[in-house]
Every structure is written in C-alpha cells, then in structure tokens.
Amino acid sequence: MKRLIKITKGAYSALIFAFLYAPIAVLIIFSFNESKSRGSWGGFSLKWYESLLQNSEIMRSLFNTLLIAVLASLIATAIGTAAAIGINSMNKRIQNAFMNISYIPVLNADIVTGVSLLVLFLFLGIPLGRISLLLAHISFNIPYVILSVMPKLKQMNKHTYEAALDLGCSPLKALWKVVVPEIMPGVVTGAILAFTLSIDDFVISFFTTGAGVNTLSITIYSMVRRGVKPEINALSSIMFVVVLLLLVVVNIRSSKDVQKNNRHSSSNRSIGFR
C-alpha cells in the first residue's frame, strides 16, 4: 500500500512538471525548426538564431529590457534592503503597519499600478521614456525585496549588531560587516526576484514607457497581431537556459554556504564540549 502511494505521488508530481514544462520544451524544439510554421517540423536548423542577431527591433528591445532590469533590480535591492533593516528596528505595531503597506503593491492589480504611475508621472511632468520606465520598475520591485530580506532579519540574533558596537565597530561598519553578511541570502533572492519580475513585466511597462522605448514584452505583444516571428522562439530559449543556469549556480552556492555553516557550527560545539 505504501509503495502504491509513493508511486501515485511520483506520477502526480511528474504530471504537474510535464504540464508546466511541456510548452517550454516545444518552444525550444521549434526554435531549431527549419520551417517558419509552428505546427510542422521542417528539419533542424540554426537560421532563426542567426536571424535573431540581425533583427534590430528585437535586439533593441532586448537591450532596453536588460538595461532596465539590471538597473531597477540593483537600485530596488539597495533601497529595499535598507528599508527592511529600518522596518525591523521599529516597534511591533509600527512594523506591522509598514509590512501591511509593503504587501499592497504585491497584491494590487498591475493595471491599477500602471495607470496610477502614469498619472503620477504626468502630474510631476516626468517625460515618458527610459527614466519613467526605470522609476516604475524600481517602485514595484522594492516590496518584493523587502519581503525577501525580512525573514533573514527575523532569523538573525538581534544582539549581534549590539555586540559589534560594544566591540568598537561604528554603526555603519557594524551594519556592513555584521548585518549585511547575515542577510545576504535574502538580499540575493530579492535581487534575482526583482530582475525576473522586471524582465517579465508587460502591463506596467506598457503604461509607463514612451515612444521608441519598447521592452521585449511590448515588442512581442505588438507582433501578436501580425504573427510572432520565429526569432522569438530562439530568444526565449536562450533566456530560459540562462535563467536555468543562474538558478543552478545560486543553488550550488547556497548548498556550499549551508555546508560551511554546518561545519563551522560543529567545530564550535566541539570546542565548547572540550
């Protein structure tokens, strides 16, 4: 009976993963299709990858997307980490109030956020373009960074920072040398999440960008009416592989950090026992 339950669970998990990743597998396979048709196989070819590099519209959109994503994730990570540290030092009631405020942009509909940012930029006289797009991405990324960093701050011993001050560290040095290394996994997670959300966003970008500044999502949306080009399959395949490799590297690094901390804790216990 237990074996049957185990097999059923495994089959159910395999079915879920197949449902999630089958479309991506089909997309990757057809990125090597000789034919332009997305319904029939015409033979193996790399011509769509070559054509991708020659497509100025897609490459320009890719540059805008990566530029905005990198800048937005870095700035949002710095602001969100500082905000999380500040919120963590507040009393419980104010802390809960700020955390509830941080949840609102996460739960809010993207179209509401996009329209409200558009109205704000027009009211402040900020021209729509790369600057407005960058500010919009920073604004919706900050709450995700806060929510990623806060659990690590909760796990950290609250007396560690005070001990560093007692040992002669300045507040800024204690923050940089003691607190930041302790919460670094949360910071990295927040940065990766912000980068991914920035690349993936369409609705907010659609409302806050200007003429001539298109991201990949906007460019692909404009292609839907006249047919998505096969070069998009090639680009999507490359992005999927890059993200997959990034996740593998992060997981390997996290595993090494856990093993290192476990060895360090074991050695400390051995010294204490002696």
Model confidence pLDDT, tens digit, residues 204-263: 999 998 888 888 888 888 877 777 778 888 888 888 888 888 778 777 776 766 666 666
Q: State the Cα angle at 183 between 84 and 185, rounded to 5°.
A: 115
Q: Domain-by-domain residue ranges, the chain?
A: 56-252
Contacts of 142 (CB under 8 A, 6+ apart): 76, 79, 80, 83, 105
pTM exceeds 0.85 for this model: no
Superfamily of domain 56-252: MetI-like (1.10.3720.10)
pLDDT tens per residue, range 168-205: 778 788 888 888 888 888 898 899 889 988 988 889 99
pLDDT tens per residue, range 71-101: 999 999 999 999 999 998 888 888 888 888 8
